[in-house]
Amino acid sequence: MSKRVAILISGGGSNMVALANSMVGDHPARPVLVISNDPNAGGLAKARDLGIETAVVDHREYPNDRNAFEEVLHATLEAYTPDIVCLAGFMRILTEGFTAKYEGRMLNIHPSLLPKYKGLHTHARALEAGDLEHGCSVHEVTAALDDGPVLGQARIAVEKGDTPERLAARLLPLEHALYPAVLRRYATMDRTPVLIS
């Protein structure tokens, strides 16, 4: 039986689309739900166009109450009994209590070569540091932010003239290759790291 994958987004959802498009044919998983914390996320319409059910759990409806937000997020997810949860540009920090519920079955993509540059503004930070290479990582989600075991990385050379925006744009196609490659392995319990350069 196919593994059931839920994907959490906050924005344009290009990684979600790459994941969804990869889960066809003999792929061991299928997308069952896309959730956004932002009702205006562009990825919601893309998910619907792909025939995937969508839901919104708007964090702004739970001001200063992360637990209440996560309770609804959890209930919304569990209605679809996901085997795997993929964070794909999901820009909310999750509590230890929430991440514990999905231990060993939640992935995230982060736009840096972890353990470098956890958190925000990764492209600017790589440029400021004078790094010669940059990249993205897919890792298992644990309680600490952007800190779980790395299951794959893709690398690009930093070029003269790169700005944070240009670097982000050059990296995005590698994210779209890396995340599906890791998910495909992960769905069969294969944790061999995927390396793309």
Minimum CB distance to ligand GAR, residue 1 (Å):
28
Judged by beta carbon, residue 123 or residue 188, the one nearer ligand GAR is: 123
Spatial distance between the Cα atoms of 41 and 47, rounded to a whole number of angstroms: 11
Query: Measured from the CB atom, is 75 or 93 closer to ligand GAR?
Result: 93
Calpha distance 28→68 (Å, rounded)? 33
Closest separation in Å from C-beta 138 to ligand GAR:
9
CB nearer ligand GAR, residue 11 or residue 189: 11
Site residues (vs ligand GAR, CB under 6 A): 9, 11-15, 43, 88-89, 109-111, 136, 172, 175
Nearest to ligand GAR of 89, 180 (CB atom):
89
Q: 127 near 164, Cβ under 8 Å?
A: yes
Return the closest-CA partner of residue 159 out of 131, 129, 196: 131
Minimum distance between the CB of residue 118 and ligand GAR, rounded to whole angstroms?
A: 9
Q: Say which of 27, 59, 110, 134 is annotated catalytic.
A: 110
Respond yes or no: is residue 110 known to be catalytic: yes
> Torsions phi, psi of 107, nearest 5?
-115, 155
Number of Cβ within 10 Å of residue 19's Cβ equals 25
Contact in structure between 135 and 169 (CB atoms under 8 Å): no
Cβ 60 to ligand GAR shortest distance, Å:
19
From CA 153, how far away is CA 172, in angstroms rounded? 13
* Residue 85 bridge partners (DSSP): 6, 106
Contacts of 72 (CB under 8 A, 6+ apart): 57, 62
List the catalytic residues: 110
